[in-house]
Structure 1
Amino acid sequence: MDDYLKERIKENLKISIRRFFSNKKVTNYQVLDDIFPKERRIRSLIGGLETSLGTTFWEPISKTLAEINGFEIIQDKILVPTEFPPALQNELDKLVYERENKPNNRRVSTEECMERLKNVAAKTNPQDIAAYIYISPPSGTGVDIHLFKDGIEYLFDIKTAQPNQGDFQKFNKQMLQWYAYRLAKTTNAKLEARIAIPFNPFAKSWYEQQKSKLFSSPLDIAQDIWVENEFWDFCSGTENTFEQLKALFVELGQENFAAEFNDIFYQN
């Protein structure tokens, strides 16, 4: 990562934080305001900033790195036909159920999911596909990052670094929906979908820390999740990309960038 790109990313981070705090107010009352007014305010502001970084920083930076690495950024949404093919919907529902419930103690791989969905999609009448009216997918099921390279479409959603058990079921359904929605329109599309965890907050391996949740989750761990450099190095095409991104946060800390927002955090 050259100096120009690092400076560009660092400036993007500063802009992202400034935009979040622009006219930011914490107005909802919590009973702990009466005991820890400053601390509760800080917690609320930082929690909101952490959430906002997904769309205002992590997502655009991943697209920038990917574009430099030769990926095409697909801006169009994956649309859904208003009359979704019943056979494809049935297969989607079956896969969601089988991955969540593991009948006969069997975990369905992502490769098998793709094969089954493609086989059903291939039987759809091309005239029916051409006649469909396509609309935006239901809220919460869209793709954050849609890349294309060497004939393969890559679909990502950036998620919190510490998902709970229920989140893994949502991830599973979301990715299977992406596959089904995309195949409904282009039955021979080559697709790879993953949940991206932008950084590892734990002292040990993220996978080791989340082992019990992952074991009981519906996901195919070898295929469905990338953590930290697994994701960032794929986007950039270089190694240890996250360490370079983290260094920019460290630089801003050393430059006392936080002092810009003292009046917001410590209002009288």
Structure 2
Amino acid sequence: MPAPTREQVFQISRETVINSITNFIGNRIDVIPNFQILDLIIPVERKIRSIVGGMETSLGTTLWEPLAKNLASLNGFEVINENLPKPANMPANLQSTLQIVIEGRNSNNPVFTSEYCHNRIKEICQTFVDNPINDFVKAPRGFGVDIWLRKSEINYFFDTKTVQPNVGALSKCFEQVINWYAFFYSQFPTQSAQSRIVFPYNPYGEIDFWSKTMGGGWPLEPTNEGWVENEFWDFCSGVENTYQIIHESFISISETGDLEEIIQEIFYGN
């Protein structure tokens, strides 16, 4: 399947943004927020802040996730709309390996590169070819996969994150990537997987994202475990500079006023 055209990427981006924001507002339109003391002084501003804050927090699931899946579908990816489960009882050898690679990375041991950690986990999981694990359960909270794509017999796992992560969040991101490999290879030891944490845009413009991120993103390994902006969007769509097209779709929506009526209703309606 050929990659989509830039016009197709623009149209699917525009439609996804409109649908995502419309659905979010539709689900909030009748919600009566809890009383805050500032309602007595700046009720309209307080309401707007609450709605916008909720929208910002939910961008991963309400916008970036459906947009990535829509673009990937256009580009010939199979979208797996399932959860990636974990073994009900994590085998001791796999649990020990997880702890070793996490501690190795956290101690700045240069041996524990992304490639080494991935290969070590897959190697341990080869024991499950002849002795398969039969009991799997839902992954614990915070370790789920937002976007699961498959193409050319490779499974890709992604989770979108805030573009201004703190050190604690970055440590959790690394643990997510490593655990996804453990979850997947414990069930499919002979298959192939790649995992990335996604920062959907660069808030620093032309300045390198990692240079402005706390600790340079450590313990997450840039590129091999973390993707920024077009590293992810170009991969999904197969079109160069896809984020710039997404950016253009936002501007187009603002200029045409397609969302103006519903935004006015939720922000300023009675």
Q: TM-score, normalised by structure 1?
A: 0.89
Q: Secondary structure at the match of 1:226?
A: strand
Matching residue within 119, 122, 146 for 1:118? 122
- Of structures 1 and 2, the one with the larger relative CO (CA 8 A, separation 6+) is 2
Structural mapping, 1:163-202, within 5 Å: 163-202=165-204
Following superposition, the deviation at residue 56 of structure 1 comes to 2.1
Residue in structure 1 matched with residue 245 of structure 2 by the alignment: 244
Cα distance per residue 1:91-113 (max 9 Å; x no partner): 112222222233xx546211010
Matches within 5 A, 1:8-19: 8-19=12-23
**For 1:171-190, what per-residue CA distance to the aligned partner results, in whole angstroms no more than 9, with x for missing partners?**
01111110001111122222
Instruction: Tell me the secondary structure at the aligned position of residue 123 of structure 1.
Output: helix
* Matching of residue 39 in structure 1 with residue 41 in structure 2: no
SS of the equivalent of 1:220 reads coil
Task: From the superposition, tell whether residues 99 and 248 of structure 1 become closer, same or farther in structure 2 (CA, over 3 Å).
Answer: same
Q: What amino acid is the match of 2:202?
A: N
Alignment-derived partner of residue 207 in structure 1: 210
Paired residues of 2:156 and 2:193 also in contact (CA < 8 A)? yes
Q: Is the 8 A contact 1:169 1:218 kept in 2?
A: yes
Contact kept in structure 1, 2:84 and 2:145, CA below 8 Å? yes
1:49 to 2:55 alignment: yes
Residues in 2 aligned to 1:33 and 1:106: alpha-carbon distance in whole angstroms:
53
TM-score between the two structures when normalised by the length of structure 2 = 0.88
Structure 2, unmatched stretches of 5+, are none
How far does residue 6 in structure 1 lie from its aligned partner after superposition?
Answer: 2.9
**Cα distance in 1, alignment partners of residues 112 and 183 from structure 2:** 19
| Matched residue, 1:67 | 73
Q: Quote the RMSD (CA, aligned, Å).
A: 2.1
Residue 124 of structure 1 deviates from its aligned partner by 3.7
| 1:24 shift after superposition | 4.7
SS in 1 for 2:100: helix
CA distance in 1, matches of 2:180, 2:229: 22
- Return 5+ residue gaps in structure 1 as ranges: none
Please identify which structure carries the higher helix content: 1
Q: Deviations over 1:127-174 (max 9, x none)?
A: 3x15x2122211221111111222221111111122122110110111
Alignment equivalent of 1:94, drawn from 91, 100, 115:
100
- SS state of the match for residue 224, structure 2? helix
**Taking every aligned residue pair, what percent have the same amino acid on both sides?**
37
For 2:79 and 2:146, locate their aligned partners in 1 and report how far apart those are by CA, in whole Å.
Answer: 11
Cα distance, 1:166–1:35 mapped onto 2, change above 3 Å:
farther
Which position in structure 1 is the counterpart of 2:84? 78
Match of 1:224? 225
Residues 24 and 18 of structure 1, relative CA distance in 2, 3 Å threshold: farther
The CA distance in 1 between the partners of 2:69 and 2:265, in whole Å, is 33
- For 2:8 and 2:170, locate their aligned partners in 1 and report how far apart those are by CA, in whole Å: 38
